[in-house]
Structure 1
């Protein structure tokens, strides 16, 4: 048994013994995207540092806690803060919470992130549903010995992001008056932001938004049989011929401004989600 297997099984057992419920839906919140959660929804807040085997989030804008919550009466695990390759974590550590979620019996995973818009038609402050991704991180969380009980050695990746969940999200967007774009997300390792030449290359490759997360988590979730929905909050626009300087602080500020739109969407969507697919 590998170190990651041991850590994942230990963390899963601890969560199972210390949480009041086992929700069928998990939600990962990206940078600055947690302010819409109402304190009354939270049944329990567990710092990642309390969970044996868990990494600890080191990035500003990531709370670093597992929230056991109810959104309009629907139980949900909320990972408030995630782990990144640029923090120095291995891909298997970045995705350890996703493994735990699957082992706990969840069926749905919603991955959110703060991303830069590459598509010039997409507006800053908008939301984009992921139809696909391009993994340019140089890493894959499935590298190394495969755990056959968790998924196949060579998982098919032709439909990582569940079209059924995406359609449900579109319907939720209509219900709450929130416009949703759809497009391809490219994941890079970071932490440096992309150059104009890199931006131009990613756009030519077919990417509509860019960020430093999500793809490794989606790969692991799909490998383990979870239905995956990805949502990008477009915090800035990357136009290679007139690149404006930006910073992490500015991205966090815009993410906070977009959080209300994300919250309205998720509040309308999550109560309608089902469990694990067959």
Structure 2
């Protein structure tokens, strides 16, 4: 058996053996968005450091633990902290948890992130449902020999983000009185913020928001046949949009400010998601 498959199965078996539930939905929580796990009922935590073959997160705002339990009546497994290419990991390590989630039998995933707003109609604190992405600058998560057991050599990315899920997310936002933006997310390798010229180029390409994660994970999830819902929390406006410098502290502060809205809309979405 391929060494990667050995690791994936070993890790999946380890996590499954520690859980008292069989999760239906996985949730990856971006910078500062971890408080959603506080709403998980009967939560059980597993530290990343205790999981065989798992990388360790090194970024502030990413706690580095799995939390399983019930959210909105659904069985969930939340990843409180993700891995980024800019941390020095190979892209295969960045997306390793997605492979493990699929191996565990999870077919539905919510991927969240903190992002910079490019669309001038956005403001810090907005929540955006991702309808598509620009990942031309992302290191390919599928580079190398394809393992047919994981998915096809050339996966179609036409409908990477489930249209029904996006429509439902907007609907529950309206019911809660929370405006949900829709838009295209662009990937940048980081860890430096983008230059104003790069943001201008991304705007011309059609991007509404930009961040340093999500795309490799979504590509891997689609390759694996998972249903994907992507959510961006617009924590700052991108370089050159406003006349002010960018910093991670602003990202964390805005994530904290929008926490209640984010938690409310995701909770109601999960309650109503037909999986």
Q: CA deviation at 1:239?
A: 5.6
Q: Are positions 1:91 and 2:87 aligned together?
A: no
CA deviation map 1:191-239 (0-9, x unaligned): 0001111111111111000000000000000010110010000001126
After the TM superposition, which residues 1-278 of structure 1 pair with which residues of structure 2 at under 5 Å, given as runs?
A: 1-38=1-38, 41-238=41-238, 240=240, 242-275=242-275
Q: 1:102 to 1:77 in 2, by over 3 A?
A: same
Q: How many Å separate the matches in 2 of 1:84 and 1:9?
A: 22
Contact 1:91–1:140 (Cα < 8 Å) also in 2: yes
Contact 2:128–2:232 (Cα < 8 Å) also in 1: yes
Contact 2:41–2:71 (Cα < 8 Å) also in 1: yes
Tell me the SS of whatever aligns to 2:116: strand
Tell me the SS of whatever aligns to 2:61: coil
Contact 2:117–2:238 (Cα < 8 Å) also in 1: yes
Q: How many Å separate the matches in 1 of 2:138 and 2:273?
A: 33
Q: How many Å separate the matches in 2 of 1:20 and 1:51?
A: 16
Q: How many Å separate the matches in 2 of 1:9 and 1:37?
A: 26
Q: How many Å separate the matches in 2 of 1:200 and 1:243?
A: 14
Q: CA deviation at 1:3?
A: 4.2
Q: How many Å separate the matches in 1 of 2:112 and 2:40?
A: 22
Q: 1:180 to 1:242 in 2, by over 3 A?
A: closer
Q: CA deviation at 1:73?
A: 2.7
Question: What is the RMSD of the two structures over their aligned residues, measured on CA atoms?
Answer: 1.5
Q: Which runs of 5+ in 2 are unaligned?
A: none
Q: Which runs of 5+ in 1 are unaligned?
A: none
Contact 1:24–1:274 (Cα < 8 Å) also in 2: no
| TM-score normalised over the length of structure 1 | 0.95
Tell me the SS of whatever aligns to 2:97: helix
Q: How many Å separate the matches in 1 of 2:58 and 2:240?
A: 30
Q: CA deviation at 1:32?
A: 0.4
Q: How many Å separate the matches in 2 of 1:182 and 1:249?
A: 25
